[in-house]
Structure 1
């Protein structure tokens, strides 16, 4: 695989035995995602997509937490006129590339998956979660709205009431909840997460790659991808409006000031 040009210093990518492992490497910040990290994730994903030696892509996170969502300090300084918070910004560009990837994507989750750390799972093919994992969308508590197609996909996957638990009530789902509701495929002991994820990726890599790609395309078409992309764009428009609101700015400033103390 041609080594992707990774600039953030917080994303690693390595290939072994037909498996590309992309790792969020910002454990000191709970793997909170910055715009630079999203750009790196997209670059790594695209490199794996284009490399015939890569058959499976694994996304995981270093440390005790998979992903704390968007980095609030980075997000609070988005220039809204730049489009970075919109459908063509770095975050949703990464989500689009996940949606369009014909190679299976496996995500391993430990600790907390917050915000887009949860909603990106809706675009993975298989999610393996440690039994201590927790899932929380965070948007409502920041004065924001769902993104990454979650306002369409979560009701379809979990049912309207359970989607409302995440998106309106701001509930946290346990790994057992997530397994029961279908948000994750496998729940494993935390100590076994890396090994079980590797075993699954190895099993997928051994399957016929042409059939895998064709099957993924059929699954994607069955989800009415065009309609999903339309919903992502609608969410992004409202998300940008909310991000510019006084209500959200007050919440974010309070959060950042609390962290400085």
Structure 2
């Protein structure tokens, strides 16, 4: 895509979203590149951790709405997974630590992908917003199951039903993120954190991940359920009108 950059820092694969002029909104090609990077890491015995960061003032503005408008309904027939959910499955399958570093806005998939990180570090200016309800959509990426378990049902419904935005301070207090730091320190602290995890015993890391996360089967079943309903809403007339209105803005 040209919008996903990768580099290696010793045993860390550092992946950067690099579409700053679009606030790192993700399109199909970017999802495919991210999935390829995760699968590449999984196959490398000399790489022990994944760090995902973003260039520019925002971490990720969510899915590119233009892609939603141009999507073919047949691409989501029979519960087919979208490129975004294929990426989520790849993240779930990775037995190496995943660290994500957030600055500015994390919207839609920009927030729900964080649920599949092992540790999230955010700058003081980070803001978390799912936006689905405002576009006439339903949750995705297993967020309807993971968020209530992680931050409680009321806080989850603030994101998913009320469409609230969480500050970095709120997100830290609720447990949505693990660490909070200054904007200028985010890059160095995120890399230091990733390198610290990369130095730990890979087998112990993999087993600990298995022990501490929710059932993969339950999450995958929820993603499948969400995907069917998400597609129904995405191609509904009222949601298409909301997409068009968003693009006009």
Is TM (by shorter chain) over 0.5?
yes
Q: Which of 83, 86, 94 is equivalent to 1:101?
A: 94
Distance across 1 between alignment mates of 2:31 and 2:241 = 25
Q: Between 227-236 and 76-85, report the one with greater CA deviation.
A: 76-85
**Residues 165-204 of structure 1 mapped to structure 2, 5 A cutoff:** 165-204=158-197
Distance in 2 (alpha carbons) for counterparts of 1:216 and 1:17: 22
Partner of 1:241: 232
Deviation at 1:18, TM superposition (A): 0.3
Alignment of structure 1 residues 41-120 onto 2, 5 Å: 41-83=34-76, 87-120=80-113
Residue in 2 that maps onto 1:9: 2
Q: How has the CA–CA distance of structure 1 residues 254 and 20 changed in structure 2, closer, same or farther, with 3 Å as cutoff?
A: same
User: Which residue in 2 is equivalent to 1:214?
Assistant: 207
Give the structure 1 partner of residue 218 of structure 2.
Answer: 227
CA distance in 1, matches of 2:78, 2:25: 16
Q: Is the 8 A contact 1:106 1:126 kept in 2?
A: yes
Q: Structure 1 regions of 5+ residues with no counterpart?
A: 1-7
C-alpha displacement of 1:205: 1.1
- Greater relative CO (CA pairs within 8 A, separation 6+): 2
**Which structure 2 segments of 5+ residues have no match?**
none
TM, length-normalised to structure 1: 0.93
SS of 2:15's equivalent in the other structure is: strand
Q: Could you tell me whether the CA contact under 8 Å between 1:86 and 1:239 is conserved in 2?
A: no
Give 4+ residue runs of structure 1 displaced > 3 Å after superposition.
Answer: 84-87
Give CA deviations for 1:105-160 in whole Å, capped at 9, x if unaligned.
00000000000000000000000000110000000000000000000111111111
Equivalent pair of 1:139/1:167 in contact (CA under 8 Å): yes
- For residues 58 and 169 of structure 1, the distance between their equivalents in structure 2, rounded to whole angstroms, comes to 31
TM-score norm. by structure 2 comes to 0.97
Instruction: Tell me the CA shift for residue 228 of structure 1.
Output: 1.0
Task: Decide whether the 8 Å contact of 1:78 with 1:84 is kept in 2.
Answer: no
Give the total of aligned pairs.
Answer: 249
Q: Deviations for 1:200-237, whole angstroms, at most 9, x for unmatched residues? A: 111111111121122222234xx111011101100000
* 1:74 alignment partner, SS class: helix
Cα RMSD (Å): 1.3
Q: 1:13 to 1:248 in 2, by over 3 A?
A: same
DSSP-derived class of the 1:144 partner: coil
- Higher mean alpha-carbon deviation, 74-83 vs 104-113, is at 74-83
Counting only pairs closer than 5 Å after superposition, residues 14-29 of structure 1 correspond to structure 2 as 14-29=7-22
